[in-house]
Structure 1
Amino acid sequence: MPVTGNDEIGEMARAVEQFMSERQQLAKAQQEAVHTARFVAVGQLAAGIAHEINTPAQYIGDNLQCIRTVTQNMAKDQTCSAWQEDMAEVDAAISESREGVKHISDIVTSMKEFSHPGVTDRFEADINRALENALTVAQNQWKHVATLEKNFDPDLPHLLCDIGKLNQVFLNLIVNAAHAIETSGKPYPGKIFVTTTQSQGSIEVRISDTGTGIDKELCERIFDPFFTTKEPGKAWPFAKI
């Protein structure tokens, strides 16, 4: 109850009230600091892994191209005519392998751009690109349960923002959409819709899904720190931004 008295007891009560308020603010600041440090650590780890993957992927791609050049030259050589069928199969296998390497490179690029370890300053960022990166990073979460429908405004202007935090928001929304479809009981595949539009100097991002939605009584709690409706260990990769 609010303290209204002006005597010594009232002053003491107000002091206690102020002390409790300051303690709550300090606890909240400490909690946010721990959470931020966790994000930075994960970002650094992701960037390091991406770099380690990228190097072998590059030389695998280069070697595949070298092999393709040799097989194409052999196909032109009349003395190798007996091997034409085999070389055609080899060429097809190389094409598939190069597509796989390209996919790895795309994932690595998305991880490196997504992580931004230690970046906290605001700068001009491409929101469409950020969404593409988040979709690529989360692909393993949604590709088994949903198809993706994107509608990005190609003329979307760059936005002055903390892109690292927006990346986390986009990632959580996409993963939550996949989990909502997965637990809805509806037949697969569901659909995830991601759209960007602009109006009167503002940018709007919409991410929706064909799951069952959230209970109305929980809507007021969705912005509570660390609130989640998921079971322990299910909130991948972060429970709350």
Structure 2
Amino acid sequence: MSENRVDAEPVSAILSGEFARKLAARDKTIEVLKRRIARESHLSNTTPFAILEQNVGLEKVVALKTQELEKKRRELETALDELRITQSQLLQAQKMESIGQLAAGIAHEINTPAQYVSDNVGFVKSASDSLLHLLDAALILADSVREQMTEMPALQAFDTALKKTKVDFFRQQVPNALDESLEGLGRITKIVSAMKEFSHPSQNEKEYADIREIINTTITVARNEWKYVATLNTYFADNLPQVPCLRDMIGQVILNLVINAAHAIADKVQAGVKEKGNIEISVIPKNDYLEVKVKDDGTGIPENIRNRIFEPFFTTKAVGKGTGQGLAIVYSTIVDKHHGQIRCESEPGIGTTFIIELPLHYIAEGNEACK
């Protein structure tokens, strides 16, 4: 994977070098024109008025060259921003590929023991049910014998053991403990399965996918980010059509938005404004696209920076807590990779909603294929 890495520093150096060469070319053109005018003026005794006309012409040339250079500079800045986004996406893709490889190994290592532990706990649960039935029968038998032979030593020993055992507590707690154990083991299996599914690379090939599965998988993977600060609910319209997409990249989009929502709510929780917030993810079909909304009741986004949130490397988070790449990657994935739309509605102190529109019809791009 290392051969695919993009180094931002050489790219910047190349673009800066190209701009410097164009600037040097402009200066060289100006110097040549100045020498030509001086030479012609000396040889032909040109009048000051003629020299003035030539100077005006020279200024026009300089202005034109300056405009051309300014245009090139803007183009180079745009190219540099695009390269930075591409670099971020490539690094993210490499990271996700590594996670996918690790997840496959971890899944095997965890699923195997989890499966036989689950099987054994299931067996113990079944056996405990049988033992409880046997205990009930033994208690009935003991009551019957007690009426006839009160002084029987075996019966007295049974009654003593019965008092120490706390049968009622055993009867109530053991089945609950086993049920909780089986539920926990099932959750382990679900999390590992979700991690495998989430990390599986799309190989840059779009395929028709169930957006509900992508979202449910992602929120399972991200559960540790939101469970302490928010309640997360999903709302899916009935009979949602499948959408052509790069599943891992759409999963990354949902992950970034959910994490951002959790962080915005955490800021409110830490400030003592509320104990816990809410995150809602909804999906409904609209005409020829799916509308996906990720809504939170966090701190909101100030109006003066709202139009910059999708810019590469723009962040309001403290150093070490945010790189400014998350929403830039979200925008690039939805708009550039899927020809969709994304917008943000926010009110400071109330919350934020991101609205995504994903086309339901496959749009060919380059050599991509849709399975």
Provide the TM-score with structure 2 as the length reference. Answer: 0.56
C-alpha distance in 1, partners of 2:172/2:113?
26
Counterpart for residue 228 of structure 2 = 144
Counterpart for residue 292 of structure 2 = 205
Counterpart for residue 282 of structure 2 = 195
Matches for 1:155-166 after TM superposition, within 5 Å: 155-166=239-250
C-alpha distance in 2, partners of 1:164/1:125?
11
Return 46-55 or 154-163, whichever deviates more: 46-55
- Unmatched segments (≥5 aa) in structure 1: none
Counterpart for residue 267 of structure 2 = 183
Q: Number of matched residues?
A: 234
Counterpart among 130, 133, 144 of residue 73 in structure 1: 130
Is the CA contact 1:44–1:117 (under 8 Å) kept in the aligned structure 2?
Answer: no
- Alpha carbons of structure 1 residues 115 and 209: separation in structure 2 relative to 1, 3 Å: same
C-alpha distance in 2, partners of 1:142/1:26?
31
Q: Please give the per-residue CA displacement for 1:185-232, whole angstroms capped at 9, x wherever unaligned.
A: 321211111100001121010001001211222222222234332234
Task: Show structure 1 runs of 4+ deviating over 4 A.
Answer: 7-10, 29-32, 78-84
C-alpha distance in 1, partners of 2:322/2:181?
33
Q: Which amino acid aligns with 2:198?
A: F
SS at match of 1:188: coil
- Following TM superposition, by how much is the alpha carbon of 1:30 offset from its aligned partner in structure 2, in angstroms? 4.7
- Following TM superposition, by how much is the alpha carbon of 1:21 offset from its aligned partner in structure 2, in angstroms? 3.3
C-alpha distance in 2, partners of 1:235/1:154?
37
- Following TM superposition, by how much is the alpha carbon of 1:31 offset from its aligned partner in structure 2, in angstroms? 5.0
Is the CA contact 2:200–2:248 (under 8 Å) kept in the aligned structure 1?
Answer: yes
SS at match of 1:221: coil
C-alpha distance in 2, partners of 1:26/1:173?
21
C-alpha distance in 1, partners of 2:109/2:313?
32
Counterpart for residue 76 of structure 2 = 21
Is the CA contact 1:134–1:170 (under 8 Å) kept in the aligned structure 2?
Answer: yes
Counterpart for residue 303 of structure 2 = 216
C-alpha distance in 2, partners of 1:45/1:235?
25
C-alpha distance in 2, partners of 1:230/1:55?
41
- Alpha carbons of structure 1 residues 93 and 31: separation in structure 2 relative to 1, 3 Å: closer
Q: Does 1:40 align with 2:97?
A: yes
Is the CA contact 1:228–1:239 (under 8 Å) kept in the aligned structure 2?
Answer: no
Is the CA contact 2:230–2:265 (under 8 Å) kept in the aligned structure 1?
Answer: yes
Q: Please give the per-residue CA displacement for 1:113-140, whole angstroms capped at 9, x wherever unaligned.
A: 1111463211111111111111111111
Q: Does 1:53 align with 2:137?
A: no
- Alpha carbons of structure 1 residues 42 and 216: separation in structure 2 relative to 1, 3 Å: farther
- Alpha carbons of structure 1 residues 151 and 43: separation in structure 2 relative to 1, 3 Å: same
SS at match of 2:274: coil
Is the CA contact 2:194–2:221 (under 8 Å) kept in the aligned structure 1?
Answer: yes
Matches for 1:108-119 after TM superposition, within 5 Å: 108-117=192-201, 119=203
- Following TM superposition, by how much is the alpha carbon of 1:95 offset from its aligned partner in structure 2, in angstroms? 0.6
Return 45-54 or 22-31, whichever deviates more: 22-31
- Following TM superposition, by how much is the alpha carbon of 1:99 offset from its aligned partner in structure 2, in angstroms? 0.9
C-alpha distance in 2, partners of 1:51/1:218?
46
Q: Please give the per-residue CA displacement for 1:60-105, whole angstroms capped at 9, x wherever unaligned.
A: 1111011112112222325765575425432221111111111111
SS at match of 1:160: strand
- Alpha carbons of structure 1 residues 105 and 35: separation in structure 2 relative to 1, 3 Å: closer
Q: Which amino acid aligns with 1:24?
A: L
- Alpha carbons of structure 1 residues 122 and 35: separation in structure 2 relative to 1, 3 Å: same
- Following TM superposition, by how much is the alpha carbon of 1:168 offset from its aligned partner in structure 2, in angstroms? 0.5
Larger radius of gyration: 2
C-alpha distance in 2, partners of 1:156/1:128?
8
Q: CA RMSD of the aligned region, Å?
A: 3.2
**Percent of aligned pairs with the same amino acid:** 37
Q: Which amino acid aligns with 1:33?
A: L
Return 202-211 or 30-39, whichever deviates more: 30-39
- Alpha carbons of structure 1 residues 40 and 231: separation in structure 2 relative to 1, 3 Å: farther
